[in-house]
Amino acid sequence: MTPQPLVITNGRLVLPSGEPVRADLRCEKGRIVAIGDDAAPREGDSVFDAGNALVAPGLVDLGVFAIDKPAFHFGGITRAALMPDQGPPLDHPARVRFAAQSGKPDFWVHPLAAATRGLEGTELAELALMREAGARAVSTGRRWVGDSGVMLRLLSYCAMLGLVVVTHAEDAGVTGTAVATAGEVATRLGLPSAPAQAEALAVARDIALAEMTGAQIHIRQVTTAAALDLVRAAKERGVRVTAGVTPAHFMLSDLELVDFRTFCRFSPPLRGQADREAVVAAIGDGTIDVIASGHDPRGPEDKRLPFADAEPGMAGAETLLPLTLTLVRDGVIDMARAFTLLAGNPAALLGANAGRLVLGAEADIAVVHPTRPWIVNSDKMAASAGNTPFDRRPVEGRVLALWKGGTRID
């Protein structure tokens, strides 16, 4: 079904760069066809008055663990890359094909193919066949591929296939069973912990292998100053590496672990304050390319446990946009960059013609009130579980309306 042509008027358009501009936006057959003067409404168009709100690309969430449409739609997310850590893992073409269809028509799922069979890190999965089945990129999942030989062969193979490899950067030999970053907080709480340098060790190896093979890697979460320095230097050398992060690591430090709050158990774990500040700086200077939710709704059976026994992860889809907007309010980045991090860059990594308000792009559009206040309430979330460390936190920024391929999502 082709949607009626849509014109959004009275909005401030968030274009790929510059300040938001007041202009109309016209979509036809699910694509953006006109911006500005020639976008004026015509007879038979559906017209939406944005009332001076922002008109932005729908968010593209690079790395979620569950398809949770109500939460994604609440958060202005129109596409998500699904991590292969499913039960069973996305290591078979049929599963990838099924996952790729699972969100349509009002949400697009881009499955990330499991890099290795069963995500065990030992044998390569059928990556070319999974690409045919709809995988837009490859991922090592929550785990680090410990065997450098396997990683080398994986990266050279993916370089040939032209698939981005999304990696998890924690040296598993150093982290062991750790659930926290080594430091005063973990020491006082008696939690198994590992030094933050476990991340830099993994990042250094993966960058070296990417440089060697010419593969493109995206390190899904870079959360420490040392690892960010490595990424920064590699980018300067022209290595094809990008870095992502979730709001938890630029909003919170390991002080949140006091009282054993399992909603603050993440992988990688929360870091010290200096590393948190380094993440904010890296978002500001362009070292970090992607902000994603890591959406992973978990009920009490996974979270109401002693800290070390609880599962990591948070329900992050609804708070992704408002928490990123704190960086705009604080002057770390401008509005255009915020949506580049949330939509433009992840779409480019996935090879999706979306994430930017440009002619010809898919009409995935969010109308956003950037300062509308609301309070996060874990009891009343759209997500299938309310495991957020941001419960009761006042935030600003709310999605007023959302379109997927030019069709309004209610």
Interface residues toward another protein, by CB under 8 A: 182-184, 186-193, 195, 259-260, 300-301, 304-309
Nearer residue to another protein within complex by CB, 182 or 314: 182
Q: Where are the alpha helices (DSSP H) in 253-378?
A: 273-285, 300-303, 320-329, 335-339, 345-350
Q: Kindly state the smallest distance separating residue 200's Cβ from another protein, in Å.
A: 16
Nearer residue to another protein within complex by CB, 28 or 275: 275
CA atoms within 13 Å, Cβ hemisphere of 246: 28
Nearer residue to another protein within complex by CB, 42 or 188: 188
Q: Tell me 5's DSSP state.
A: P
Q: Kindly state the smallest distance separating residue 196's Cβ from another protein, in Å.
A: 10
Q: Kindly state the smallest distance separating residue 189's Cβ from another protein, in Å.
A: 6
Rounded CA-CA distance 361/26 in Å is 12
CA dist 281 to 286, 331, 361, Å?
9, 11, 31
Nearer residue to another protein within complex by CB, 12 or 271: 271
Rounded CA-CA distance 266/270 in Å is 7
Q: Kindly state the smallest distance separating residue 174's Cβ from another protein, in Å.
A: 12
Give the β-pairing of 31-35 and 25-28: antiparallel
Nearer residue to another protein within complex by CB, 261 or 408: 261
- 27 exposed, middle or buried (CB, 10 Å; 0-12, 13-18, 19+)? buried
Q: Kindly state the smallest distance separating residue 387's Cβ from another protein, in Å.
A: 15
- Expressed in percent and rounded to 5, the helix, strand and coil fractions of the chain are 35, 25, 45
Nearer residue to another protein within complex by CB, 57 or 297: 297
Phi, psi of 241 (to 5 degrees): -130, 135
Q: Kindly state the smallest distance separating residue 87's Cβ from another protein, in Å.
A: 16
Do the Cβ atoms of 52 and 46 come closer than 8 Å? no
